Amino acid sequence: MRLKFNSSLLYVLLLVSSLLLSLFLKNNYFTDNALTQVKKRGELNIVTRNSATTYYYRNDEPTGFEYDLAKAFAEKLGVSANFITDENFDSQLAGLESGHVDLASAGITITDERENLVNFSTPYNQVSQLLLYRAGESKPKAFEDLRDATIDVLDNSSHHAQLIQLKETYSFLNWRSHSTLDIEQLFNKLNYGEIDYLICDSIDFNLNKRFFPQLRKGFTVSTAESLAWAFPKNKDHSLIDKANEFLAASKDNGFLEELQEKHFDHADGLGYAGSVTFFHHTKNRLEKLIPIFKEAATKHNLDWRLIAAISYQESHWNPKAISPTGVRGLMMLTQNTAKQLGIKNRRDPEQSTEGGARYFVRMKGKLPDRIKEPDRSWLALAAYNIGYGHLEDARVITERQGGNPDRWADIRDSLPLLEKKKWYKKTRYGYARGREAALYVRNIRNYYDLMNWKFKTEPTQD
């Protein structure tokens, strides 16, 4: 028996089969992997959150630990970095799932629950969860001290998840979770007594306690937890593998350590009394000096807040300040330095500020062109304090020890050696109070951070 075929039906069947085969091959064989897509696009889409520990604007430029790290990864891939801010982990997750973002770089803690939702890179930092309270209140030492109390946390945070688990052991635990506030806003509420207790990461506390001097650590809620980048939960590991290679190299070549120093290490130098005194003086002394600082900043292409920070370290904004060694004025200029700069009256606020700004710029100008910011400014500040010759001695010592003479973190560790005869006898300029210079720079960096925090909405210059 001969079968008869309908040619039209056969054509339709062949067409449908062809389309299905094409779709199958496209989805399973010829779709570019995540890494190739990023390179073809020429852009790495990164979701982060806006905070002092991750991503924020300073002097009209983006900065932050996560920003610097993720941007360096994009540069390693040969593409530009596109940052998208989102405070909520659920929204960040939605962006990963939809393909609108390639990775989340937002100080994300690895938890068992989150590992079911995303693929994590290798860790690049560690934090602990802390319970904070306000100075003047009784210090809680354990959860048993929090009966009938309310703890505040960020919604959908690892701290929130930790409380849910702890509820099984401490049935009396009570908390409020916030989806419309960020961590700085919660710090502010605790600082002014609007809430009683707060759980946060140690890295957030250490960086922000300068800005909120009433914050106190009660006890550690959790042991060390790892921070990592988050990627979409799928079998395509092409991008995450590159990220892991980058993070491993960043640990080996010191880049992670460099970012740690740049953003966090100096923050421990300012205690409660220092922060309180600073904020007291911003109310009573700073306002009338701001125009003077801004005028000098405009003239010398500096940030007025940095000039103010230097002045605060030198004189606490007291134009009549004088030291036992004879330096005086807002910028505490020596008589010889003032003479070299053409400053006739060191106690005159305008003249002193102009002289200090000019001297700082002179120190920066002496440094080799290859030294970039912010190291350039920190080295210049050390020279401002200790003298350029002694700074050069410290740079020589640093190089002899195998360090980088152009990197502030290495110079900071070498400066105290200028006080030891074993080292200073081999230098050109001899003994110097190097430890004091290192502390001097650390303090100014702290005051500069406080100035940026207090005046963060102001432009760098008028």
Residue 144 tokens read as: 């048993």
| Phi then psi dihedrals of residue 195, to 5 deg | -130, 165
Helices marked H in 333-387 — which ranges?
335-341, 349-366, 375-386
List the structure tokens of 435. 């430890």
> Is 314 in the active site?
yes
- Amino acid in the structure at residue 386: I
Give residue 340's Cα distance to chain centre. 38
**Among 87, 225, 261, 314, the one annotated catalytic:** 314
Do 227 and 107 meet the contact criterion of CB atoms below 8 Å apart? yes
**Long-range pairs for 92-97 at CB < 8 Å and ≥24 separation?**
92/47, 92/49, 92/230, 93/117, 93/118, 93/230, 95/47, 96/47, 96/230, 96/231, 96/232, 96/233, 97/232, 97/233
Q: How far apart are CA 156 and CA 184, in angstroms?
A: 16
Closest C-alpha to 201, from 252, 253, 157, 232: 157
Question: Taking a C-beta distance cutoff of 8 angstroms, is the pair 308, 453 a contact?
Answer: no
Residue 343 tokens, joined: 């400053």
Contact 73, 66 (CB under 8 A): no
DSSP per residue over 4-63, as a string?
Answer: ---HHHHHHHHHHHHHHHHHHHIIIIISPPHHHHHHHHTEEEEEE-BBTTTBEEETTEEE
Question: Hey, which residues are catalytic here?
Answer: 314
